Structure 1
């Protein structure tokens, strides 16, 4: 005898449908894109996504403290630290003393790290082009604007606290 589970009335009562829930859809889409690209970075360059993000940020911004990297990437301190350690071991990053704060260090790309970024960047751009190839240019611009607005709204909610449930 087979037992089939029945949908609960809870989902119907709350109106929450996971496939229509925007935070879920964003997460699934992000995981799909990151997973695709991560395989390419891992296979060809032995890099994790956090390591690649760290390389990109340093290629764009120059030397930064780990605190600045955390703020710029949205990655947590542990993730940034682990990514940096792996890149230090490969001699793709270098560390120097912070001129204003003796307790802090500035992390920067080495020449080899800069070369690796130059090699990977065209691949990253090719993946992006393939992903957005079905979108019109104005749709891409709209998507980027909407993502920025969603990120700003999430940051504002995180700072002010999430909406609370109010009893009637």
Structure 2
């Protein structure tokens, strides 16, 4: 039975995603002392507005423990605030504070600069091919979890 892990598509996609993610993480880690789960939670809240921790986990494919730690860290930095659901006390809504929105805006500028750096590194043709390939995967293998729940 012939099998080479290094040519197995899921393995290669994971390795490529990890390299790209680590390279970007090094930038925001040094500037903001932020972990990847914190970045993902901040990005979700900045992009979609008020969410629950469960929605953040579904949006970012993070385990609830990582979401919980990230939320706590963002709250300690005063970048996030919690509010109890008026109808169901089991739910907490999370949203960015004004300071959190300012950091998110700065992070988006950093993210755009990183995308430009990656485009230059890969070249326009390779980047277009990569984007087309990712779009094909996303179209043929849609995710099972919603980005946002119907609960507001």
Q: TM-score range by the shorter chain?
A: 0.7 to 0.9
Deviation at 1:16, TM superposition (A): 1.1
Deviation at 1:144, TM superposition (A): 3.3
1:56 aligns with 2:46: no
Cα separation, 2, equivalents of 1:100 and 1:59: 24
1:144 aligns with 2:134: yes
Deviation at 1:67, TM superposition (A): 1.0
1:135 aligns with 2:124: yes
Cα separation, 2, equivalents of 1:150 and 1:32: 24
Gapped regions of structure 1 (runs ≥ 5): 1-12, 157-168
Q: Contact 1:63–1:106 at 8 Å: present in 2 too?
A: yes
Deviation at 1:146, TM superposition (A): 2.6
* 1:68–1:46 Cα change, 3 Å: same
**How does 1:1-168 map onto structure 2 within 5 Å?**
13=1, 15-133=2-120, 134-136=123-125, 138-149=128-139, 151-152=141-142, 155=144
Gapped regions of structure 2 (runs ≥ 5): 146-152
Cα separation, 2, equivalents of 1:127 and 1:155: 29
* 1:85–1:122 Cα change, 3 Å: same
Q: Contact 1:19–1:25 at 8 Å: present in 2 too?
A: yes
Deviation at 1:131, TM superposition (A): 1.4
Cα separation, 2, equivalents of 1:33 and 1:62: 26
Cα separation, 2, equivalents of 1:66 and 1:103: 12
**Number of residue equivalences:** 142
Deviation at 1:139, TM superposition (A): 2.4
Larger Rg: 1
